[in-house]
Chains A and B, each alone.
Chain A
Amino acid sequence: DSGVTQTPKHLITATGQRVTLRCSPRSGDLSVYWYQQSLDQGLQFLIQYYNGEERAKGNILERFSAQQFPDLHSELNLSSLELGDSALYFCASSVDTAGDTQYFGPGTRLTVL
Chain B
Amino acid sequence: GENVEQHPSTLSVQEGDSAVIKCTYSDSASNYFPWYKQELGKGPQLIIDIRSNVGEKKDQRIAVTLNKTAKHFSLHITETQPEDSAVYFCAAKRDDYKLSFGAGTTVTVRA
Contact = CB atoms under 8 A, between A and B. Distances in A.
A99 B30 CA distance: 13
Nearest to A56: B98
B104 A42 contact: yes
B98 A45 contact: yes
Nearest to B95: A98
Interface residues of A, number: 21
B25 to A, nearest CB: 15
B89 A43 contact: yes
- Counting contact residues on chain B (CB < 8 A from A), the size range is 20 to 34
A2 B99 contact: no
A49 interface: no
B46 A97 contact: no
B44 A90 contact: yes
B83 interface: no
Contacts of A33: 99
Interface stretch (A66-74, A75-83, A100-108): A100-108
Contacts of A103: 46
A48 interface: yes
A43 B43 contact: no
B61 interface: no
Interface in A11-70: 33, 42-43, 45, 48, 56, 58
B46 A43 contact: no
Interface of A: 2, 4, 33, 42-43, 45, 48, 56, 58, 90, 97-107
12 contacts: A2-B43, A43-B104, A45-B100, A56-B96, A56-B97, A90-B44, A98-B95, A100-B32, A102-B46, A102-B99, A104-B43, A106-B42
